[in-house]
């Protein structure tokens, strides 16, 4: 077999390399986005070299690693949020340095849980349980520093905002997102919702206790 022949991939091999289904690859080929060689028997074959080039261009396929990489940048965005948005809030001004550090640690814990949830499917049940515990811990802390439920929810939304932005920015490139990444994007909302529900439950539990 010649070197040129050895670089030709079947549709199944090419779709695995690109991280898309064979249906998607067939559609891209029909649309002219990806070139294919047709064998005498009518089967499509794809140049491995060409596919590497395709993945390396602006039209490259974005996957789970791309989404994770974007989320890993959120701690820097979180610091901007604290400086710009929280700096003017009365409750934030009352926090000492240690409390502000704890506040940031809880936010980063949420980011780490999101990354684990979308990148390690086998640990999703465990990660969801950890997310609920993190929401409880976040709620207890925010109550401890005197935040109302409204302020606590606003605080959480500010922490979640960079995560949503990371996912939506990638979603804008939906034509070049592999299917695993596309499926992972709603998971960002799913796990952060679990954190929020647990946070709210802490406040509701306190209100019920005070009314009894």
Instruction: Determine what percent of the chain is predicted with pLDDT higher than 70.
Output: 73
Q: What is the pLDDT of residues 69-88, one digit of tens each?
A: 667 766 555 556 555 666 67
Query: What is the phi/psi pair of residue 177, to 5°?
Result: -105, 135
Query: What is the phi/psi pair of residue 38, to 5°?
Result: -105, 125
Centre a 10 Å sphere on the Cβ of residue 2 and count the other Cβ atoms it contains.
Answer: 6
Angle at 142 between CA 137 and CA 146, to 5 degrees: 145
Domains and CATH numbers, the chain: 3-56 (1.10.1660.10), 64-211 (1.10.490)
> Is the confidence at residue 60, as pLDDT, over 80?
no
Between 76 and 26, whose confidence is greater?
A: 26
pLDDT at 120: 84
pLDDT at 118: 83
pLDDT at 2: 40
Rounded Cα–Cα distance for residues 149 and 81 (Å): 19
Contacts of 138 (CB under 8 A, 6+ apart): 106, 110, 156, 195, 198, 199
Q: What is the pLDDT of residues 148-189, one digit of tens each?
A: 999 889 888 877 877 777 776 665 555 555 666 667 778 888
């Amino acid at each position: 077999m010649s070197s040129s022949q050895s670089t030709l991939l079947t549709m199944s091999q090419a779709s695995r390399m690109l991280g898309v289904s064979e249906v998607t690859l067939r559609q891209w080929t029909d649309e002219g986005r990806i070139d294919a060689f047709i064998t005498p028997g009518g089967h499509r074959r794809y140049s491995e070299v060409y596919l590497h080039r395709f993945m390396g261009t602006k039209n490259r396929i974005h996957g789970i690693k791309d989404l994770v990489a974007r989320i890993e940048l959120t701690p820097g965005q979180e610091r901007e949020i604290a400086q710009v948005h929280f700096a003017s809030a009365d409750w934030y001004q009352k926090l000492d340095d240690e409390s502000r550090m704890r506040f940031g640690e809880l936010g980063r814990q949420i980011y780490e849980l999101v990354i684990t949830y979308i990148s390690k499917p086998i640990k999703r049940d465990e990660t969801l349980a950890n997310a609920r515990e993190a929401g409880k811990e976040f709620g207890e802390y925010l109550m401890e520093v005197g935040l109302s439920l409204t302020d606590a929810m606003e605080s959480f939304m500010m922490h979640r905002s960079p995560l949503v932005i990371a996912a939506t920015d990638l979603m804008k490139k939906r034509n070049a997102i592999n299917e695993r990444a596309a499926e992972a994007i709603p998971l960002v909302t799913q796990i952060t919702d679990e954190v929020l529900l647990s946070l709210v439950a802490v406040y509701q539990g306190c209100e019920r206790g005070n009314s009894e």
